[in-house]
Amino acid sequence: MNKTVNILILVSGNGTNLQALIDAQSRLGAGKIAAVLSDKSGVYAIERARLAGIPAFVEVPDKKLPKEERRAELSKRILDICRKQNIDLIIYAGFLSILQGDIMEEFKGRMINIHPSLLPKFGGQGMYGEHVHRAVLAAGETESGCTVHLVTAGIDAGPILLQRKVPVPDGDTPGALAGRIHHEEHIAIVEAAAMMVQKILDS
Ligand code: GRF
């Protein structure tokens, strides 16, 4: 089958995972990074998309809306974009919003997220960025890593696709640990994206 698997990448920040995917475009097989969407304005991830010539969207629902309504609005806007751009696969690459509603059903099994810990450890509400690495160090863990998993309604709770581990040496710092994990994330996200592209082609 000569199908292109169109990928939407969701971001909220710097976008080094997005960059890893852009740099690995040729290893994604039929996968094509069709669009990038940020829920925050002014983030460098959007600049990365523009530099790579990928259509970039910034969708920031009115901050005065109650949290639930903002979430519903953002979910709806993203689903609209997915339909217009014929998206087949959604990758959360450092995306901090939670989506809900129709998009969850329409993209069930076709949304993945990368998280900087060995889930199910150190996931869930409030566990993002440095919070994760501080918690890992406080718990005296000897290893950490990253996880790519399917997105479901529960935060960081969907079925795990793959994990990559890093050691946590004595005297480690949150910054150093984050750096070590980031390196593994950039490998994991490309591997998981390629896996999903193949799975979608085979389905
Ligand atoms: C990564 O650590 C990822 O696991 C988490 O957010 C961070 C995003 O980093 N979900 P970047 O924006 O891709 O550099």
Residue extents of the structural domains in the chain: 5-202
Average pLDDT over residues 100-121: 98
In this structure, whether the domain defined by 5-202 belongs to CATH 3.40.50.170 is answered with yes
Three-point CA angle 43, 62, 17, nearest 5°: 25
What pLDDT score was predicted for residue 1?
A: 54
pLDDT in tens, 26-79: 999 999 999 999 999 999 999 999 999 999 999 999 999 999 999 999 999 999
pLDDT in tens, 27-41: 999 999 999 999 999
Contact assessment for residue 147 and residue 117, using Cβ atoms and an 8 Å cutoff: yes
Is the CB of 17 within 6 Å of ligand 1?
A: yes
Average pLDDT over residues 185-201: 98
Tell me the torsion sign for CA atoms 163, 167, 173, 177: negative
**Ligand 1 centroid to residue 15 C-alpha, Å:** 7
Quote the mean pLDDT of the chain.
97
pLDDT at 7 over 60: yes
Which residue's C-alpha comes closest to atom 1 of ligand 1? 94
**Ligand 1 centroid to residue 93 C-alpha, Å:** 6
Q: Which atom of ligand 1 is nearest to the CA of 182?
A: 2
Q: Which atom of ligand 1 is nearest to the CA of 18?
A: 13
CA torsion angle for 71, 192, 176, 125 (degrees, to 10)?
30
Residue 133 designated active-site = no
Burial of 174 (0-12, 13-18, 19+ CB in 10 A): middle
Which residue's C-alpha comes closest to atom 14 of ligand 1? 16
pLDDT at 2 over 80: no
Average pLDDT over residues 137-152: 98
Which residue's C-alpha comes closest to atom 2 of ligand 1? 116
Sole residue written with tokens 């991830």: 45
pLDDT at 161 over 90: yes
Counting Cα atoms < 13 Å in the Cβ hemisphere of 173 gives: 3
Average pLDDT over residues 165-179: 98
Which residue's C-alpha comes closest to atom 8 of ligand 1? 94
**Ligand 1 centroid to residue 2 C-alpha, Å:** 32
Taking the complete model, does pTM exceed 0.85, yes or no?
Answer: yes
Q: Which atom of ligand 1 is nearest to the CA of 20?
A: 13
